[in-house]
Amino acid sequence: MRIGTSKNSSHVDRACVERLGIPLMVLMENAALKVIKHLNTDKYSSYVLICGAGNNGGDGLAAARHLYVLGKKVEVFMVLNNSGNMSECCNANYNILKNMGVAITKITDDECIHKLKDSLLKAEVTVDGIFGTGLNREVEGIFKKTIETINEYSKYTVSIDIPSGMNGDSGKILNCCVKANKTLCFEFYKRGFLDYKSREFTGHISVESIGIPENILNEFHNNEFMLERSYLIDNLKPRSKYGHKGDYGRTLIIAGSEGFSGAAYLATEAAVRSGSGLVTLCTSSRLQDILSCKLSEAMTSSYENKEKLLELIKPCNALAIGPGLGKNETTLELLELVIEKAQCPIIIDADGLNVLSENLSLLKKAKNTIIVTPHPGEMSRLTGLSVADISSSRVDIARKFALEHKIIVLLKGYETVITDGHTVYINPTGNSAMASGGMGDCLTGIISSFVAQGLSPLVAAACGAYIHGYAGDKLSRDKYCVNASDVIEEIPYVLKEIVCGK
């Protein structure tokens, strides 16, 4: 699913009209039909549509016409600025409705607001088509009163393309905003929806096509995507009946120190349960015996034995380093060794990131792709930016850091960001029931396992984030809280469900 800005949308519309010769009225008609699809016309019979003067309002007016033709009770309100001017297509749909005898009330004063209130109380569904994605000014005056009335009296609200009052690029609320139960977007998931605070206003988000060709959408797009199940189906393939453990890769996990054996266990077990053919944990010699007993399907070794460590690094297909190592000189030495010697992709997490933040020049020595998996605090240490700054611009900061250092960044959080600096994936899975220690270690194990099995590092990171969150989503249906061990147990089952459709 493509993510787009208001500029992307306007460029696409212009290209359709000017280069392809598709009239804007055709796109508006297609949009209106998709609105009707989401209005549950089999169940509901009375609708109020509130429209502005732009093309978003035109979509609403066209939808009102279709509802009227279907025999529904339709009331249409328009809220305009002082000039009363409408866009050409909005005006055309306005005149069509007038010619059909549909009454249209222009909201100009408090008396009109009172009439709107009465209509909202009687109607089953409200359609918001006041403002589009390009709004960049504060909502005031009669517009503000209209939106406040919708929020107070509407039983169920559907917003066209974006809730009126929200900036489509930042998600910022411009003084007041419609609180929709559902938002129906056209072609692009809006960039502003990536701000988690926007969900209070968007409700459920759906994205529909309105007949714009793929080549036009691809031309005016920033390579930002919302991950969907279809992406995993395309990249995670069913296993061959003739496959053996050598076909599914060697994963090396360097993790754990005294007091932090759990991190090493979780990362390793997650790699095993995610399907890596051979998994080895390299840990502190003080923990090796304990972890050998717990990890019956993985091999163990000690990272104090550098000669043995080098032997393990050489044949591995993926290497993860950091969970539970501690921020100390030993961790730095291990990270330096791994980056200088490993020929395979490297996943750096936790304490690996903490020592990396003070030694970023190490990244230049890598012989293959590096994936870093920071949470906002670790990203703050890596970039020198505050957590607040990172939280307010997660995609742009992750993208810039990945591009600058030629690595892949997986920035954890609500709707995790995965990027190589060129392409961005946003992961929609996961929930707050998973907010517990060890989840990051589990994710590191999954990603390293996917890399070892032959997925490209970017695809492995994206698929790993999705599977990790999806397992948590399934578990949270029956559990108040979900821990990392729960997720690890669930991994093979969600992989079977998604990859094999079972």
Does the structure show a pLDDT above 80 at 502? no
- Judge whether 491 and 471 are in contact, CB under 8 Å: yes
pLDDT of the residue at 84? 82
CATH fold for domain 3-222: Rossmann fold (3.40.50)
Which region among 49-53, 237-241, 277-281, 435-439 has the lowest average model confidence (pLDDT)? Answer: 237-241
User: What mean pLDDT comes out for the span 92-117?
Assistant: 96
Does the structure show a pLDDT above 90 at 77? yes
pLDDT of the residue at 83? 82
In this structure, what are the phi and psi dihedrals at residue 429, rounded to the nearest 5 degrees?
Answer: -90, 165
pTM listed for this prediction: 0.94
User: What mean pLDDT comes out for the span 209-219?
Assistant: 96
Listed by start position, the domains of the chain span 3-222, 230-236+249-500
For 218-251, give one letter per residue: b (16+ CB within 10 A) or e: eebbbebbbbeeebbeeebeeeeeeeeeeebbbb
Confidence grade of residue 501 (pLDDT, cut at 50, 70, 90): confident
pLDDT in tens, 129-152: 999 998 999 999 999 999 999 999
pLDDT of the residue at 82? 83
Which contiguous run of DSSP H or E holds residue 144? helix 141-153
Q: For the chain, what is the mean pLDDT?
A: 96
Give the amino acid at 383: T
pLDDT of the residue at 416? 98
CATH number assigned to the domain with residue range 230-236+249-500, chosen from the 4 options 3.40.1190.20, 3.10.20.600, 1.10.357.10, 3.40.140.10:
3.40.1190.20
Confidence grade of residue 196 (pLDDT, cut at 50, 70, 90): confident
| C-alpha to C-alpha distance for 440 and 430, rounded to whole angstroms | 12
pLDDT of the residue at 81? 87
pLDDT in tens, 6-27: 999 999 999 999 999 999 999 9
Task: Give the distance, in angstroms, between the CA of residue 234 and the centroid of all CA atoms in the same chain.
Answer: 18
